[in-house]
Structures are given as C-alpha cells and as structure tokens.
Amino acid sequence: MKQILLVEDDVTFSKMLKHFLERHQYVVDVSYTLQNATQCLKKQDYDLIFTDLRLPDGDGIALLKQIKDQQNLTPVVLMTSYAEVSTAVKAMKQGAFDYISKPFNPNEVLEVISNALEVQQTEIATPKTKIKTTKNSSKKDFVEGISAASKTLNEYINLVAPTSMSVLITGESGTGKEVVAKNIHLKSLRSDQPFVAVDCGAIPKEIASSEFFGHKKGSFTGAINDKIGHFEAANGGTLFLDEVGNLTYENQIQLLRALQERKVKPIGSSDEILVDIRLITATNEDLLNAVEEGDFREDLYHRLNEFSIKVPNLKERNDDLILYADFFLEKANAQLNKSIVGFSKEVLTLFQNYQWPGNLRELSNIVKRATLLTQTDVIDKNTLPSELLQPQKTSTNTQKFSTKENEKELILSALEEADNNKTQASKLLNITRKTLYNKMKQYNLS
C-alpha cells in the first residue's frame, strides 16, 4: 500500500483527511509541524507528501525546498487557501507537483494523488538526466497546466510527439496553437533540427510558391537573389503552417504534391530538392466544413489530419489561469526590467470572472501592460483595461471565421465598428492585421 505523509496543523481537518485516505487504502502519517515532518522523512520513505502552505514553525515551501535539495523524487502537493494561490504557483516552479485550494472535494484529492503517484513511478523508472532534458527544452515557453483540459492536451502531445504523424491543431485564436506545435517538435526525435513556423494568412497568393519552395535569381521580376523556401529551410525538422485554411485552392494543390512526392522544385530551377519534414498545421476554422463547401481539398485535409489536437480555450482551463498569469508576469518582468511580485486578490477575482475572448494572447497582453503601469510590488486593478472592470458586452464581431460565406460580412461589420481602423478591426476579429489586409484584398474591400 502507498504511504502518504500529511503535514497539517489543523488537527480536526487532518484527522478527517487521514480517515478519508485510509478508507481508500492509503497508509497515512500525520505531522503537525515542519520539524516533526522533517523527522518523519528521516525515518521513513513516502510515496507522496501532502503539506499545508502555512505551518506553525515555517511553511510548506520550506519543506519542499528541503526535499528537493536532498534530490528526493517524492512528489509534493500543497494545500492552500484561495488567497495563497499565487504563492502555490511559485512553489510549483520550485518543484511542487500540484496544489489544491481549500475547500476541496474528495474526488479532486484522489485524482491528484493518482496523478502524482503515476508521475513518481515514471521518474523512478526513467533516468533523471533524460527527464530533465525533456522538461528544460520546452519549459521556457510551455506551461503544462493542471486543469483536466490541460492534462488531456499534454497527454495527446506526449503521445504523438515521438511519432512521424502529421498533426492538425485546432482551437480559437489566441489559445497558443503555435506553442503546442513547438512543444510537439521539442519532444520529437527531430528536436535538434529546425522548427519553421509560417503564417499562411500573411502570405499573398501571388508569392506563395516562392515562399514555400524558393526561387532562383532572375526567375521573375523582383527575384534579385536566390531564395530558400520554407520546405527546404525545415528539411530534417518540422514545418508548422498556421492558418492553413487561408491557402488558395492552387496553393493547396502545390502543398499536396510536395507532401506526396517529398521533393520540391524552386521557381526557375530544373533541379528537385528532396525534403524530409514533419508537418504540423493549425487553424481556427472548421476545415471539415470547408471541405464540404468545396473550399479545401479533401485529400489534403486527410493528409494533414493524421492526428488532431484541439487546444482548449482559456475558460476551459480556468484552473490554470493563475498559473498562466504568473508565467506571463515573469516574462513581462524580464522584458521590462521590472520585479513585480504578483497580483492583488481583487485582480485575481477579476481574472477568474472575465470571459477571455482573446484567450492566452489577451491575458499575456493585459499582464504585460499592467506590469508596465505598476509602480508597487503587486499588480492592482487600476492597471487593468476597462473591459475587465465592466460587464462584458457580446459583440457579433467577435465571431470566428468558421465558413467562407460570412467572412466578408464580418470584416465589413468589424471595420464599421472600428471606424475603419484596421488594427482595431483585426483585434475584434481575432486575426492578425496582415491577414485582415490580405482578406480585404481578396474581397476587393478598400
């Protein structure tokens, strides 16, 4: 039977939790102080440590540091109040496996224990250096998250990454589809080879062939130098095509041919170049619907969709919200040369209640802006934009491009609402400004 050390100074609560865990076939030792917990760890090896963040003679983070300094692989789970979540997030950066906010339900406790014990077995069975390499290679830009939606996403990434399968990533704008693609690459056998990301929505159809396959000097007007295409640049590694649904039908045919033949011919060249790439694509459109409408080739769709991953939106990952906010705060501190410690409780509440139509991209921008404006140690609500402080309005312009037939109307509506401000209109539509300009050209909109 698995042995758990419970470190909790609330006698009544600790007894209740101890009895609950024992009913589920766990052996539980209880410590009421940090000192006593340290003595228990010297006498006994445990499979899991549950510790309260606040203890009479210290805190759970001190216990965590002690365990990690001793190279102990025992997973540590912190128990916190809601107001202490930011501190718990920092503890996870120092090696805590997870945290649970009080009050918590029994099923949540059992799920966290099960996950922690599963990870512990993996770490024991896997050489430590190998685990470190995998984690460190992607940790800078990828937050794994602790929500059910994030755990499913991470499971899919880990399953498909070592294979050579083409992956189609779907999800709303701003959910981090490129970050998911990069993480798949970093966990693949091609991790030491190039990762080339291409925004298909920003490539005018007239030069798409040159962008993908390259060209020779003098092959057309304006070709003043040889150009290496994206396929050749990604040779041996991973090619990521974002907004793949924006490719014209002609470009789709060219892409399909290159994928089938595994070779490309630069414009103006008679020589073909063999290419070995892993293809990952992403879209916020319904590609299957585009296939049915005749706007996207069915054979290309199946070629791209050997394995599909849907990236959840931020509201579906609500348990990760504080984790992401802290991650973006750390990045903003580094970029702006600031040292903000965290967020006020009022700001965290506003974050939790907001709908986040722009998802992670919106959260990142808001945290960076607030970091710039903050002159104290903690981000307060007066640094937040007005949309977080007011009841949200539902705008028809925040619809996503799901079919070709309504794109023109959405663009016109967004431009009208934004007084023809292209930057503001692109934000309303959750697309890049380059994509907006290309689509305006496509529909002959001035």
The number of folded domains in the chain is 4
Domain shared by 214 and 155, yes or no: yes
Do residue 352 and residue 436 come from a single domain? no
Bond before 103 cis per omega within 30 degrees: yes
Phi, psi at 30, each rounded to 5°: -115, 135
In whole angstroms, how far apart are CA 252 and each of 195, 259, 304, 356? 21, 11, 11, 33
One domain, residues 304 and 336: no
Domain assignment of residue 322, given as a range: 314-389
Rounded Cα–Cα distance for residues 322 and 317 (Å): 10
Indicate whether 445 pLDDT > 50: yes
Burial of 234 (0-12, 13-18, 19+ CB in 10 A): buried
172 and 289 in a single domain? The answer is yes
49, 160: one domain: no
pLDDT, tens digit, for every residue of 213-260? Answer: 888 877 776 667 778 889 999 999 999 999 999 898 889 999 999 999
Is residue 132 assigned to a domain? no
Predicted local distance difference test score (pLDDT) of residue 134: 32
Quote the CA–CA distance of 273 and 85 in Å, as a whole number. Answer: 53
What pLDDT is attached to residue 132? 30
407 with 385, same domain: the answer is no
Q: What torsion do the CA atoms of 203, 206, 209, 211 make, to the nearest 10 degrees?
A: -40
State the CATH number of the domain containing residue 339.
1.10.8.60
**Neighbour-count burial of 214, counting CB atoms closer than 10 A to its CB (0-12 exposed, 13-18 middle, 19+ buried):** buried
Confirm if 2 and 26 have CB atoms less than 8 A apart: yes
User: What are the beta bridge partners of residue 51?
Assistant: 7, 78
Over residues 160-182, the mean pLDDT reads 94
Specify whether the CB–CB gap between 107 and 88 falls below 8 A. no
Residue 185 lies in a domain: yes
- The burial class, CB within 10 Å (0-12 / 13-18 / 19+), for 390 is exposed
Higher pLDDT, 431 or 160: 160
Q: Amino acid identity, residue 120?
A: Q
Is pTM beyond 0.75? Reply is no
175 and 288 in a common domain: yes
Q: Does residue 291 sit in the same domain as residue 344? A: no
CB atoms within 10 A of CB 361: 16
Q: 398 versus 156: which is more confidently predicted?
A: 156
If asked whether residues 226 and 306 sit together in one domain, one would say yes
Domain identity same for 353 and 232: no
Q: What number is the average pLDDT over the span 343-366?
A: 91
Flag the least confident range among 73-77, 126-130, 151-155, 192-196.
126-130
Q: What is the mean pLDDT of residues 192-219?
A: 84
Residue 138 is assigned to a structural domain of this protein: no
Q: What is the pLDDT of residue 293?
A: 86
Provide the CATH number for the domain around residue 283: 3.40.50.300
Cα 29 to Cα 43: distance, rounded to the nearest angstrom: 12
> Which one has a higher pLDDT value, 88 or 388?
388
Q: Give the chain's mean pLDDT.
A: 82
Q: Is the pLDDT reported for residue 366 higher than 70?
A: yes
Please check whether residues 180 and 296 belong to one and the same domain.
yes
